[in-house]
């Protein structure tokens, strides 16, 4: 298969498996999405979805959030981890949104990245999922699968994002990044990976990855 045929096979398979795409983090507007994505760093979406209703019950907009102290925010979000940094970030960015943007979340990745505790991936998720602006946020699942499929060299997430944007049509980015995340969780996880269930890697996968998989499997027998 050519590289183009492999890319098309991956796209078609993902569209067949995920014709409708569930959004991983529960939210109701750009602000609550921004907070949820910030909280998801080094945590699970399941854990974040358990905590955000408790936080948003007290403050689901920047004006109410700044009325809480950093310590009060931390008390609610502690279970998601990294709470000292995240609580300061949430309080700080809420203050900036009020002062600079009349309480609205900016639609520009560069402006979002200027906010406390907001990195490139978080900003990309927000513009993609909240505003429908084409972006390709790369998380651990996408980074792993792009390497397994031979679509990127696995060097770093910056390179993976560049390769994804080069290989996939721009109009598909917003759906594809979510489809790949779900596929990674359901069929191609880092641990407990069963290649028989992973049709994309089995069909288009990097030879080195497939060889290592079968070698490891053989050694276990």
Q: Please list, in sequence order, all residues whose beta carbon lies within 8 angstroms of the beta carbon of residue 31, skipping any fewer than 6 positions away.
A: 60, 61, 62, 97, 103, 105
Q: What CA–CA distance (Å, rounded) separates 130 from 105?
A: 10
From 6, 86, 121, 163, the catalytic residue: 121
Asked if residues 144 and 188 have their Cβ atoms less than 8 Å apart, the reply is: yes
121 an active-site residue?
A: yes
From 88, 95, 139, 162, the catalytic residue: 139
For 95, other C-beta atoms within 10 Å of its C-beta total 14
170 an active-site residue?
A: no
Q: What CA–CA distance (Å, rounded) separates 178 from 161?
A: 14
The residues carrying an active-site annotation are: 121, 139
């Amino acid at each position: 298969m050519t590289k183009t045929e492999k890319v098309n096979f991956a796209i078609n398979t993902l569209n067949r498996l995920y014709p409708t795409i569930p959004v991983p983090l529960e939210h109701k507007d750009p602000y609550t999405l921004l907070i949820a994505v910030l909280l998801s760093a080094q945590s699970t979406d399941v854990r974040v979805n358990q905590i955000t209703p408790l936080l948003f019950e007290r403050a689901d907009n920047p004006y109410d959030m700044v009325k809480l102290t950093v310590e009060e925010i931390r008390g609610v979000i502690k279970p998601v981890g990294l709470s000292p940094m995240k609580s300061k970030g949430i309080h700080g960015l809420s203050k900036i949104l009020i002062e600079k943007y009349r309480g609205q979340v900016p639609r520009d990745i560069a402006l979002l990245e200027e906010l406390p505790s907001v990195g490139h991936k978080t900003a990309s998720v927000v513009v993609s999922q909240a505003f429908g602006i084409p972006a390709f946020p790369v998380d651990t699942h996408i980074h792993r699968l792009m390497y397994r499929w031979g679509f990127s060299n696995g060097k770093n997430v910056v390179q993976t994002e560049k390769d994804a944007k080069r290989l996939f049509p721009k109009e598909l980015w917003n759906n594809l990044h979510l489809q790949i995340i779900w596929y990674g969780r359901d069929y191609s996880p880092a641990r407990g990976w069963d290649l028989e269930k992973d049709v994309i890697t089995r069909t288009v996968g990097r030879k080195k990855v497939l060889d290592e998989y079968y070698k490891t499997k053989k050694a276990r027998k």
